[in-house]
């Protein structure tokens, strides 16, 4: 036995020594380049694109890996600038923006073609946009385009309301209607434009219950649903029906309507006064609780709509009753008067009086006598996109959105081929059917293995597409990606992928490692709906106890984040932040040195003080702190299971322990379990969030805490903040708008619904011979600028500074493209 | 024999439906949805998606539709990769897994049986100790360790073989990685089985009858000695063919294991159900085959 043991030990030892020797060989950085660096034989780029693309339909998937593939296959009005990601001309040669920044006119180039040779016209854009918002397409990214007029209403299946030949407008129900504006001319006047420029129509939900819930609490809106004499299509017939009082409804009406009105049995006898009395009687009925109280109501001849409505109301009321019972039970156990009053407020009244529902029901009970309220579904034709002529597209927004042009580079706004989709339906993206319009077209697609695209000779800019093709490899494992790269099997791979254990090694290869800040932030959301983080001071204390600079040093691949939006991505906004910051500093009379320090958001002393003020005094013994009063059983830091998330959480946990003496328990969850948990605010205390900007404007970050249903994950809502952002977006001067936004940002930074942590970094690699592929803030590429440089003397060096180096080829190409823009 | 096979085949149907039902329940209990993403969806968009995929129907209707689809063998389109049907996805991925699995199986059998038989014949020799300690090592080194070490040596240091992705030379490393643990196990099982049989009475009888050593070994000893190996390798073959998550991930093989784990992470219900149905039938059929093969290997076993 001893011999076996010895043999085994020796063989294990031998393997161990061998492998550690190999590892040390493999990782020695004697060479200039990482692993094998050999020019590819063909003029084809081999790129690891991450997860297999969900779909080749740009309306369907929302992910970044797909965005890169769509960038090669599809074009839209505008394209990404390879370095700045600002919009540059694509199928639109040039464009004009209305003075109010709510209308855009795009002049299309006339030589745009699909990969099957079909010419591209303005109608293709109209079709694509309408398809994207069509509820049946069920696009997950459609909300990005809600800035387009009526797009949200169309996508959400909403309806316009027509009354007596007139549509109800927003102004009709606004508290203080704005003074009517005379539309300013912009481009050719058309019927579509007249419609879109007329006052905003009111839209309400398509479901009858939600309609009732919208109309009911709004007295101004309710006014529009009152019966008038104009609603009486056939007054004598109505009077006759009521007079003969057969069923409970007519009995009720005849009891409540003055007899002289019912006397108008013939057209001649029906005076205006009598009609008015009839209408008043119907209004009284519509406003009565009586209908829903009647049992027979469920048995009489129901119209399907009214039946659905009543069922929905019954279900809703049952739900409210159960919820109220639960609240009562909770109240019974409470002692604090103030809290009981607070809790009692959360109780909901049952929906008894349903004026709107009753009105619908009355209309249906007397179909020949009453003019129904017309609910006109919002259609694709109603949304703010128009083909003015074959080569002119006009987009109309519902509100000024200065960042909208940048949004148009997004995959959602790229063109899809009508003639192919109508022929093949959902199968249009199969390799044998697909027709594209980008620089490249599909050559071969084996899902999970490769997507090979080749230059499309039909593309209007084919002469300037530098690569013959791109091979996208869907590889998910980070280690495998790096192996493939090191072995020279691929030329570049996607962002955020160098494993943490490799960063130290890989960053030495300065000609290959791409590590610049991204248009993305990482932060911890506080659950502001639950104690103790409903207290602003506690939130601030936790944030101030974390040293972001050392966190960034620890992470190596990120930069510290001090605000809600990342600095260093939007240069003009950074200036605005500095300017507004200086104003605030002077208002608050803080010395410049203190302000500099305060900017870093790290002040353990203040953190301890704030905790004390919030009722959780921090005690000191020697160099260690403790905070026994803090309810650590009620908080935890929740994150989705992932090695780097854990490392960050443990680091931050240690900072809290060290600086405020609180040990926050960590909790991890599988990604798809975690997301609904966080979004429903079920987490205790804090949860990790990562946000990558949808477009190149800080609003994509500031909007995170905007409105009631925001994406911030904190449950935060603040009317002052919302107002500040609305004001900012209505500002037409870009720099002034940024300053207003900066004000809002400082405001929300003080409220602190979430605690900023890091600006993530691109963290990917490319071989030095790949040129025109930049570590831009979104890692999104305009592939036609990419090329393979055969001359080693011209290879990229020191890529940390690559954004400052001008590549003459790329610059010339950009200049030629922008030449069409004039100005 | 025939009635036994038919009975077992018929039993597969209710078993598969039970497995499918349990899987469906588990998928439904798991939080999150195929469209859940970092960005919260507006309620209207969620409604649109639910309507499009029939998720707005009551659960019993959805369950009924699902069962009917299962019986027909048509699971519809994948939710995440909606351009493809589940059947297409499975039938495209399965050959990749099957080729690698089959090669690994053959390699494992070749190495394992040879080493095991020789070791049993030369018990306590240097070869026995050497091969059995190597087998012990093979058993204790998991394939997510072995794979990367092989990649390190042959791809990143020697540049002999590609580190990943499907190609003729690219499948060498995954096959070796996958077969190692099976080869080791088979070697040990064979050795143990053979040692036991070699000591048994009927071998002694065979020798006493004066049969030459070759006949004793091949006609008598190996047949009996392999029973434990068969009961292990039958289900093992099913597992190998069905794809292994770790190896397919490490080597980026577009096989069944790879899409299965993705389907679960994506909450891609039809795809999960389709793969589970496929795998459960595959495994049950292989178990049946193993049971049948016992009859041929061991004269004591008879099926009625």
Does B20 score more than 80 pLDDT?
yes
Q: Which of A18, A53, A140, A410 to mutate to test the interface with B (most CBs of B within 10 A)?
A: A140
The CA angle A622-A626-A627, to the nearest 5 degrees, is: 150
Residues A156-174: tens digit of each pLDDT = 999 999 987 889 988 888 8
Task: Name every chain A residue with its beta carbon within 8 A of the beta carbon of B89.
Answer: 447
Domain membership of residue B197 (yes or no) is yes
Does A11 score more than 50 pLDDT?
no
Residues A49-89: tens digit of each pLDDT = 988 888 899 998 888 889 999 999 999 999 999 999 999 99
Give the mean pLDDT of B121-133.
88
Does B196 score more than 50 pLDDT?
yes
pLDDT at site A349: 67
Percent of chain A at pLDDT > 90 equals 49
Q: Does A473 touch chain B (CB under 8 A)?
A: yes
Q: Does A20 touch chain B (CB under 8 A)?
A: no
List the CATH number of the domain containing B237: 1.10.3720.10
Question: Minimal Cα distance from B83: which residue of A?
Answer: A427
Q: Does B126 touch chain A (CB under 8 A)?
A: no
Does B264 score more than 60 pLDDT?
yes
- Better-predicted residue by pLDDT, A606 or A309: A606
Give the mean pLDDT of B63-92.
87
Q: Give the span between the Cα atoms of A327 and A349, in whole angstroms.
A: 13
Angle, in degrees to the nearest 10, between helices B227-241 and B172-198? 160
Q: Give the span between the Cα atoms of B230 and A778, in whole angstroms.
A: 55
Domain membership of residue B76 (yes or no) is no
Distance from CA of A669 to the nearest CA of B (A): 11
pLDDT at site A353: 59
Residues A244-266: tens digit of each pLDDT = 877 777 888 888 888 888 888 77
Domain membership of residue B132 (yes or no) is yes
- Better-predicted residue by pLDDT, B178 or A822: B178
Choose the weakest-confidence range: A344-358, A427-441, A532-546, B252-266. A344-358
B 135-154 → A contacts, CB under 8 A: 136-137, 148-149, 151-153
| Cβ–Cβ pairs < 8 A, chains A and B | 172
Residues B172-185: tens digit of each pLDDT = 999 999 999 899 99
Q: Does B215 touch chain A (CB under 8 A)?
A: no
Question: Minimal Cα distance from B145: which residue of A?
Answer: A19
Domain hosting B151: range is 94-262
Residue A305: pLDDT band with limits 50, 70, 90: low
- Better-predicted residue by pLDDT, A467 or A300: A467
Please give, one letter per residue, the 3-state secondary structure of A583-645.
HHHHHCCCCHHHHHHHHCCCCHHHHHHHHHHCCCCCEEECCEEECCCCCHHHCEEEEECCHHH
pLDDT at site A21: 46
Q: What is the mean pLDDT of chain A?
A: 87
Domain membership of residue B34 (yes or no) is no
pLDDT at site A351: 62
Give the mean pLDDT of A802-818.
90
Q: Do B82 and A477 touch (CB under 8 A)?
A: no
pLDDT at site A164: 79
Domain membership of residue B171 (yes or no) is yes
Distance from CA of A683 to the nearest CA of B (A): 14
Domain count, chain B: 1
Does A620 score more than 70 pLDDT?
yes
Domain membership of residue B17 (yes or no) is no
The shortest CB-CB distance from B134 to any of A11, A19, A62 is to: A11
Residues A714-741: tens digit of each pLDDT = 889 899 999 999 889 888 788 999 999 9
Choose the weakest-confidence range: A178-187, A809-818, B229-238. A178-187
Q: Do B45 and A447 touch (CB under 8 A)?
A: no
Q: Do A135 and B48 touch (CB under 8 A)?
A: yes
What sign does the CA torsion over A415, A418, A419, A421 have? positive
In this structure, what are the phi and psi dihedrals at residue A539, rounded to the nearest 5 degrees? -60, -45
Say if residues A425 and A131 touch (Cβ distance below 8 Å). Answer: no
Give the mean pLDDT of A564-580.
93
Give the mean pLDDT of B206-213.
85
Residue A291: pLDDT band with limits 50, 70, 90: low
Does B194 score more than 70 pLDDT?
yes
Residues B234-253: tens digit of each pLDDT = 778 888 887 788 899 889 99
In this structure, what are the phi and psi dihedrals at residue B50, rounded to the nearest 5 degrees? -60, -40
pLDDT at site A4: 37
Q: Does A681 touch chain B (CB under 8 A)?
A: no
Choose the weakest-confidence range: A6-20, A558-572, A803-817, B205-219. A6-20
Q: Give the span between the Cα atoms of A99 and A97, in whole angstroms.
A: 6
Domain membership of residue B100 (yes or no) is yes
pLDDT at site A377: 94
Distance from CA of B152 to the nearest CA of A (A): 7
Question: Minimal Cα distance from B89: which residue of A?
Answer: A447
Say if residues A75 and A414 touch (Cβ distance below 8 Å). Answer: yes
pTM of the predicted protein model: 0.86
Q: Does A487 touch chain B (CB under 8 A)?
A: yes
Q: Do B36 and A672 touch (CB under 8 A)?
A: yes
Give the mean pLDDT of A294-307.
51
Does A34 score more than 80 pLDDT?
yes
- Residue owning tokens 């434009």: A193
Q: Do A486 and B163 touch (CB under 8 A)?
A: yes
Distance from CA of B234 to the nearest CA of A (A): 29
Choose the weakest-confidence range: A307-316, A470-479, A582-591, A671-680. A307-316
Q: Does A717 touch chain B (CB under 8 A)?
A: no
Q: Does B170 touch chain A (CB under 8 A)?
A: no
Question: Minimal Cα distance from A479: which residue of B?
Answer: B250
Q: What is the mean pLDDT of chain B?
A: 87
Residue A30: pLDDT band with limits 50, 70, 90: low
Task: Name every chain B residue with its beta carbon within 8 A of the beta carbon of A54.
Answer: 80-82
Query: What's the Cα-to-Cα distance from A333 to each of A52, A531, A822, rounded to whole Å?
Result: 53, 18, 72
pLDDT at site A290: 59
Residue A654: pLDDT band with limits 50, 70, 90: very high
pLDDT at site A361: 78
Q: DSSP assignment, residue A670?
A: -
Q: Do A135 and B51 touch (CB under 8 A)?
A: yes
Does A757 score more than 90 pLDDT?
yes
pLDDT at site A350: 65
Q: Does A691 touch chain B (CB under 8 A)?
A: yes
Task: Name every chain B residue with its beta carbon within 8 A of the beta carbon of A156.
Answer: 42, 44-45, 47
Say if residues A31 and A506 touch (Cβ distance below 8 Å). Answer: no
Residue A348: pLDDT band with limits 50, 70, 90: confident
Please give, one letter per residue, the 3-state secondary structure of chain B.
CHHHHHHHHHHHHHHHHHHHHHHHHHHHHCCCCCCCCCCCCCHHHHHHHHHHCCCCCCHHHHHHHHHHHHHHCCCCECCCCCCCEHHHHHHHHHHHHHHHHHHHHHHHHHHHHHHHHHHHHCCCCHHHHHHHHHHHHHHHCCHHHHHHHHHHHHHHHCCCCCCCCCCCCCCHHHHHHHHHHHHHHHHHHHHHHHHHHHCCHHHHHHHHCCCCHHHHHHHHHHHHHCHHHHHHHHHHHHHHHCCCHHHHHHCCCCCHHHHHHHHHHHCCHHHHHHHHHHHHHHHHHHHHHHHHHHHHHCCCCCCC
- Better-predicted residue by pLDDT, A164 or A290: A164
Choose the weakest-confidence range: A16-25, A180-189, A331-340, A672-681. A16-25
Domain membership of residue B270 (yes or no) is no
Q: Give the span between the Cα atoms of A485 and A497, in whole angstroms.
A: 12
Q: Does A444 touch chain B (CB under 8 A)?
A: no
């Amino acid at each position: 036995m001893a011999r076996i043991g010895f043999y085994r030990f020796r063989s294990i030892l031998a393997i161990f020594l061998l492998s550690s020797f190999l590892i040390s060989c493999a990782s020695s950085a004697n060479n200039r380049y990482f692993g094998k660096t050999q020019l590819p034989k063909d003029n084809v780029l081999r790129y690891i694109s991450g997860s297999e693309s969900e779909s080749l339909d740009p309306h369907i998937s929302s992910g970044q890996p797909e965005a890169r593939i769509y960038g090669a296959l599809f074009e839209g009005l505008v394209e990404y600038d390879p370095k700045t990601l600002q919009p540059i001309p694509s199928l639109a040669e040039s464009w004009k923006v209305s003075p109010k920044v709510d209308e855009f006119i795009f002049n299309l180039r006339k030589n745009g073609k699909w990969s099957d040779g079909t010419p591209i016209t303005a109608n293709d854009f109209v079709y694509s946009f309408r398809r994207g918002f069509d509820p049946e397409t069920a696009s997950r990214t459609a909300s990005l385009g809600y800035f387009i007029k009526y797009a949200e209403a169309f996508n959400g299946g909403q309806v316009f309301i027509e009354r007596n030949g007139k549509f109800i407008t927003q102004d009709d129900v606004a508290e203080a209607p704005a003074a009517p504006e005379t539309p300013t001319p912009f481009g050719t006047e058309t019927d579509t434009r007249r419609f879109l420029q007329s006052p905003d129509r009111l839209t309400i939900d398509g479901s009858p219950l939600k309609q009732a819930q919208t109309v009911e609490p709004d007295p101004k809106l309710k006014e529009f649903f009152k019966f008038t004499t104009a609603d009486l299509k056939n007054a004598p017939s109505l009077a006759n029906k009521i007079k003969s009082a057969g069923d409970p409804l007519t009995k009720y009406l005849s009891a409540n309507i003055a007899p002289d009105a019912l006397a108008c049995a013939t057209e001649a006898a029906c005076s205006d006064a009598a009609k008015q009395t009839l209408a008043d009687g119907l209004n009284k009925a519509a406003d009565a609780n009586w209908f829903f109280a009647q049992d027979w109501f469920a048995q009489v001849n129901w119209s399907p709509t009214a039946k659905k409505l009543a069922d929905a109301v019954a279900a809703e009321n049952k739900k409210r009753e159960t919820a109220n019972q639960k609240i009562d039970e909770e109240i019974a156990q409470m002692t604090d008067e103030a809290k009981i009053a607070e809790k009692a407020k959360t109780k909901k009244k049952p929906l008894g009086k349903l004026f709107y529902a009753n009105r619908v029901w009355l209309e249906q009970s007397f179909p020949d006598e009453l003019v129904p309220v017309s609910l006109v579904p919002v259609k694709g034709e109603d949304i703010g996109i128009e083909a003015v002529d074959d080569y002119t597209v006009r987009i109309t927004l519902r509100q000024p959105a200065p960042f909208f042009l940048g949004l148009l580079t997004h995959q959602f706004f790229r063109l899809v081929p009508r003639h192919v989709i109508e022929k093949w339906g959902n199968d249009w993206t199969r390799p044998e059917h697909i027709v594209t319009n980008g620089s490249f077209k599909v050559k071969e697609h084996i899902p999970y293995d490769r997507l090979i695209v080749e230059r499309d000779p039909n593309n209007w800019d084919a002469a300037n597409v530098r690569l013959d093709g791109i091979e996208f490899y869907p590889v998910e494992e980070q280690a495998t990606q790096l192996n493939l790269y090191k072995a020279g099997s691929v030329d570049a791979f996607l962002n955020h992928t160098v494993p943490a254990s490799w960063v130290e090694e890989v960053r030495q290869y300065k000609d290959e490692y791409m590590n610049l800040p991204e248009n993305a932030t990482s932060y911890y959301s506080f659950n502001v709906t639950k104690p103790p983080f409903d207290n602003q001071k506690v939130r601030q204390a936790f944030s101030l106890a974390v040293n972001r600079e050392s966190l960034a040093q620890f992470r190596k691949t990120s930069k510290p984040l001090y605000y809600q939006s990342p600095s260093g991505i939007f240069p003009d906004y950074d200036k605005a932040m500095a300017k507004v910051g200086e104003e605030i500093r002077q208002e608050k009379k803080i010395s410049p040195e203190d302000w500099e320090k305060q900017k870093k958001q790290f002040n353990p002393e203040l953190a301890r003080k704030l905790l004390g003020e919030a009722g959780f005094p921090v005690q000191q013994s020697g160099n260690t702190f403790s905070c026994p009063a803090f309810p650590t059983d009620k908080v935890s830091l929740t994150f989705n299971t992932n090695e780097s998330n854990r490392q960050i959480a443990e680091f931050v946990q240690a900072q809290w322990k060290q600086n405020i003496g609180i040990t926050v328990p960590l909790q991890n969850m599988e990604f798809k379990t975690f997301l609904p948990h966080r979004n429903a605010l079920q987490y205790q205390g804090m949860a990790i969030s990562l946000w990558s900007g949808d477009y190149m404007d800080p609003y994509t970050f500031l909007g995170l805490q905007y409105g009631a249903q925001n994406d911030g994950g904190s449950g935060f809502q603040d009317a002052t903040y919302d107002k500040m952002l609305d004001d900012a977006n209505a500002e037409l001067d870009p720099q002034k708008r940024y300053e207003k936004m900066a004000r809002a940002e400082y405001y929300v930074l003080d409220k602190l619904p979430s605690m900023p942590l890091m600006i993530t970094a691109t963290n990917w690699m490319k071989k030095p011979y790949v040129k025109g592929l930049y570590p831009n803030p979104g890692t999104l590429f305009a592939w036609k600028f990419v090329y393979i440089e055969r001359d080693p003397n011209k290879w990229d060096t020191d890529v940390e500074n690559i954004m400052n180096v001008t590549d003459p080829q790329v610059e010339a190409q950009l200049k030629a493209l922008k030449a069409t823009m004039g100005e | 024999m025939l009635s036994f096979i038919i009975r077992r085949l018929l039993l597969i149907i209710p078993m598969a439906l039970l497995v499918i039902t349990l899987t469906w329940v588990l998928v439904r209990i798991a939080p999150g949805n195929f469209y859940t993403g970092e960005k919260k969806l507006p309620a209207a968009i969620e409604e649109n998606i639910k309507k499009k995929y029939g998720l707005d129907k009551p659960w019993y209707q959805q369950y009924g539709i699902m069962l009917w689809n299962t019986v027909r063998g048509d699971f519809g389109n994948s939710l995440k990769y909606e351009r493809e049907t589940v059947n297409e996805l499975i039938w495209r991925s399965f050959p990749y897994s099957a080729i690698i699995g089959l090669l690994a199986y053959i390699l494992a059998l070749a190495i394992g049986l040879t080493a095991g038989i020789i070791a049993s014949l030369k018990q306590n020799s240097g070869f026995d100790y050497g091969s059995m300690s190597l087998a012990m090592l093979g058993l204790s080194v998991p394939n997510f360790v072995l794979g990367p070490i092989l990649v390190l040596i042959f791809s990143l240091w020697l540049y002999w073989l590609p580190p990943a992705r499907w190609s003729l030379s690219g499948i060498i490393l995954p096959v070796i990685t996958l077969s190692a643990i099976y080869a080791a196990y088979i070697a040990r099982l064979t050795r143990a089985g053979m040692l036991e049989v070699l000591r048994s009475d009927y071998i002694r009888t065979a020798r006493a009858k004066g049969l030459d050593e070759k006949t004793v070994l091949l006609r008598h000893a190996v047949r009996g000695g392999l029973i434990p190996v068969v009961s292990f390798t039958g289900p093992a073959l099913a597992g190998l063919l069905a794809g292994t998550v770790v190896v397919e991930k490490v080597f980026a093989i577009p096989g069944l294991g790879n899409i299965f784990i993705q389907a679960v992470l994506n909450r891609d219900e039809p795809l999960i159900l389709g793969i589970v149905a496929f795998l459960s039938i595959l495994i049950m059929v292989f178990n049946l085959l193993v049971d049948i093969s016992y009859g041929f290997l061991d004269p004591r076993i008879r099926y009625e």
